[in-house]
């Protein structure tokens, strides 16, 4: 957590903290090679694991020295809970957590060492990346954050210095040290995060959600495209006031060659009200993918890992192979609709069916809402199975992304794929009947 003084931020990593670590040579079984850097939550060292013979990053943290012993124990309990949660995030775009422990009255966590540079190096004038490269990086970060969110973890400190670019070009999200488990919302108090990238709800010390990380990533997108912060200020208080009250300078004022679509994407990510932002990183990535296709001279979408990875992560398709999902995508339609739009109407004749990839939708009979459809669920399958007109209306409650599959496609598919679909339809029907 960053503690805020009258005119500046005061880091818990103070002079005494550094003095207490001045003679450090080992932490647990790890050999300390050199200091890599320090931030608001601790000091990071390059270390060596002699057992496995590999380099690691070692982050050492402790609460403010003036915190009473009871709160110190609470800090440690919280630290290890979050280290355990971060350790479960096995994803190619998230730095792996290996170990955690105690060193004197410090807590430490050892992580995968990324030999490369932080994205912050490319967020300043004279060092900006190409538009296509910048968008591709944020697209990749969306994938990593989306995975973390699905595992029930909110990062809370997404910023350029916590996004690493390895020498081979791989993108890695690091520092889940102040991440929050969604089921533990009430446990954190005070301002947590980095002021220039905090969401309005973080500034107001309100509960956070996936959309809080999306706001922070919107700030990162703004900065990597323009070289300027979305919410600059002379001190933390002026920055936080702008986050809650002001709109950032349009990106095309700073960099005229940027396409208008990127400004629209940033505006949505930076909406003051969480409900008006992208509701998932998948939503965010979908629009970035559209923008990337239109960037003149930009990377082709086949240079980005295919949307197949996203589709396969949706619960409906968890039993499908990547090849099967790719085949379905080649003959179906992924589309996005705005909140409030009718997707299918009662009485309509159509035997296509849909899988909700992102967002929420409601099922209505007349004026009455009878059910909610969540991410990964299907609807419209009864018209396909029965050959009857639509029995209800489905309306998008938030901005949504759908996969529309035609009956003709399914009828022509291999029997193994048809059986998978029928099994999912049966499970969906059982779940819905169990609610009545």
Catalytic residues: 157
Q: Which SS3 state, helix, strand or coil, does residue 36 take?
A: strand
b/e string for 118-138 if b means 16 or more Cβ within 10 A?
Answer: bbbebbeeeebbebbbbbbbb
Give the containing element (helix H, strand E) for 385: helix 381-386
**How are the residues of the chain apportioned to helix, strand and coil, as percentages rounded to the nearest 5?**
40, 20, 35
β-strands 342-344, 97-103: how paired? Answer: unpaired
User: How many residues can be counted in the chain?
Assistant: 436
56 beta partners: 47, 112
Structure tokens at 23: 């003679």
What's the DSSP call for residue 251?
H
What's the DSSP call for residue 305?
P
Helices (H) and strands (E) in the chain, counts: 14, 21
Dump the DSSP string for 15-41.
HHHHHHTTT--EETTEEEEEEEEEETT
Contact indicator for 350, 383 with CB cutoff of 8 Å: yes
What residues contact residue 207 under an 8 Å CB cut-off, 6+ apart? 185, 201
d(CA 323, CA 343): 28
Dump the DSSP string for 183-242.
GGGGG--S--S-GGG--HHHHTTPPP-HHHHHHHHHHHHHHHHHSS-SS--SSHHHHHHH
CA distances from 401 to 310, 335, 389 (A): 12, 6, 23
Residue 10 CA, distance from chain mean position: 28
Give the containing element (helix H, strand E) for 132: helix 131-150
Q: Which SS3 state, helix, strand or coil, does residue 167 take?
A: coil
**Rounded to 5°, angle at Cα 180 from 177 and 182:** 160
d(CA 255, CA 371): 46
Q: How many CB atoms lie within 10 A of CB 165?
A: 20
């Amino acid at each position: 957590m960053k503690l805020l003084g009258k005119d500046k931020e005061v880091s818990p990593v103070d002079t005494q903290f550094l003095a207490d670590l001045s003679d450090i040579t080992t932490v647990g079984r790890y050999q300390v090679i050199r200091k890599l850097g320090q931030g608001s939550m601790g000091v990071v060292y390059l270390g060596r694991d002699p057992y496995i013979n590999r380099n690691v990053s070692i982050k050492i943290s402790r609460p403010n020295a003036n915190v009473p012993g009871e709160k110190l124990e609470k800090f440690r309990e919280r630290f290890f809970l979050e280290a355990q949660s971060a350790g479960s995030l096995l994803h190619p775009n998230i730095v792996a957590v290996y170990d955690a422990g105690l060193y004197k009255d410090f807590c430490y966590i050892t992580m995968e060492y990324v030999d490369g540079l932080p994205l912050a190096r490319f967020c300043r004038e004279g060092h900006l990346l190409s538009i296509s490269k910048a968008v591709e990086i944020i697209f990749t970060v969306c994938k990593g954050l989306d995975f973390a969110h699905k595992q029930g973890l909110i990062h809370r400190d997404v910023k350029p210095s916590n996004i690493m670019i390895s020498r081979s070009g791989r993108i890695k999200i690091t520092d889940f040290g102040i991440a929050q488990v969604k089921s533990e919302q009430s446990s954190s108090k005070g301002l947590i995060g980095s002021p220039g990238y905090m969401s309005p709800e973080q500034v107001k010390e309100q509960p956070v959600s996936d959309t809080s990380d999306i706001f922070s990533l919107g700030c990162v997108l703004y900065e990597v495209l323009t070289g300027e912060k979305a919410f600059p200020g002379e001190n933390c208080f002026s920055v936080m006031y702008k986050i809650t009250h002001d709109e950032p300078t349009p990106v095309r004022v700073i960099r005229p060659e940027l396409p208008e679509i990127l400004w629209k994407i940033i505006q949505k990510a930076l909406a003051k009200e969480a409900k008006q932002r992208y509701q998932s990183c998948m939503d965010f990535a979908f629009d970035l993918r559209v923008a990337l296709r239109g960037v003149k001279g930009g990377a082709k979408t086949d240079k980005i890992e295919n949307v197949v990875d996203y589709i396969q992560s949706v619960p409906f398709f968890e039993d499908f192979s990547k090849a099967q999902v790719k085949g379905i995508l080649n003959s179906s339609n992924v589309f996005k609709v705005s909140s409030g739009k009718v997707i299918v109407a009662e009485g309509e004749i159509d035997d296509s069916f849909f899988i909700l990839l992102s967002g929420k939708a409601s099922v209505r009979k007349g004026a009455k809402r009878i059910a909610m459809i969540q991410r990964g669920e299907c609807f419209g399958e009864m018209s396909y199975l029965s050959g009857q007109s639509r029995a209800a209306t489905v309306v998008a409650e938030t901005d949504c992304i759908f996969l529309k599959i035609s009956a003709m496609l399914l009828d022509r598919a291999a029997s193994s794929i048809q059986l998978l679909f029928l099994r999912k339809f049966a499970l969906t029907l059982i779940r819905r009947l169990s609610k009545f």
